[in-house]
Structure 1
Amino acid sequence: MTPLQETSHGFVIDTKPDNIPSQITKNIFLGSQDCTEINVLQKFGINYVLSVGIEVEHHAGIIYKFTPCLDLPETDITEILKNDCFDFLDMVVLSGGRVLVHCNAGVSRSSAIVIGYLMLKDGVDYDEAYDVVKRVRVVARPNDGFIRQLKRLTWSRSK
């Protein structure tokens, strides 16, 4: 079995420890569930955790948000982003906090959420947001369904 092998479980099997989060922006970190260990969060000054599809142990002093999400091409990642994740990420960024966005392996679901957030927040297209993420987290690779959805992502906000 390879370190990251897709299964019919709706997620990527993570068999190799990956406990160093990738800093995408001043406030946003991307990583695997291994990065949710308290010593890792403290080392990087992370005080918020957005768990995408994977529930993790909670630690005192950290604010957590969980959103259900399967790593399947037919999962509507844009609705999850818009309805469950965008406002949480925006609150963290605007407050000056630091957030870890993670899924199981930090490859597909969490990277799709971060890419989508950058697209909506910064008004950039998929390729530009993907390049920002990929430069820092080389294993980032949303599944093909997420990529198709993100490439069509638009959102007018009246806030």
Structure 2
Amino acid sequence: MLFLETAVLCAVLFILCIFRTGTDAKNLQNYNSYPDAAQSRIRAIPEYEHQFKEQNPFLTFTANFLLFLAILFVFGIFIRQSDFTHNFLSLLFLGQTLNAFDLIVIDLLWWRHTSRIRFSKLPQPALYQDPRKHISAFIRAFIMFCAIALIDGYLLTLF
């Protein structure tokens, strides 16, 4: 069941990424995901002005933490046991596999090479190749999923 849940979460994440890209308007909603070089070029284009906003990293982390705390808790209900170690390790596996899938498949293999994420006024592929933001997001999510596995693992043990 754990592997099925992992596959479902990874597939849903990939589908969401596809549907949230493809037009300049959709891509501008993901402005913070773009490399610094692309962001500075985006800010210089008058047509894009006021169509994106820079998000507070703390608020983004907090929102993602709460979202995945709820999602992994719900998925954890179906695989829970009375043992904290099992619940913790299962949720840690689920979260970190999703995190690794996001970095490797979505960010490094798909995102950097698909034309869906490119802006019509910035078609140069080189602007989108820098993986640093994706790697730092992976590190933040690594910490986040460890904390979530601890909290949800404990809650599922009590439940």
TM-score, structure 1 length as denominator?
A: 0.30
Higher helix share: 2
Between 1 and 2, higher relative CO (CA 8 Å, sep ≥ 6) is seen in 2
Give the TM-score normalised by the residue count of structure 2.
0.30
- Higher-Rg structure is 2
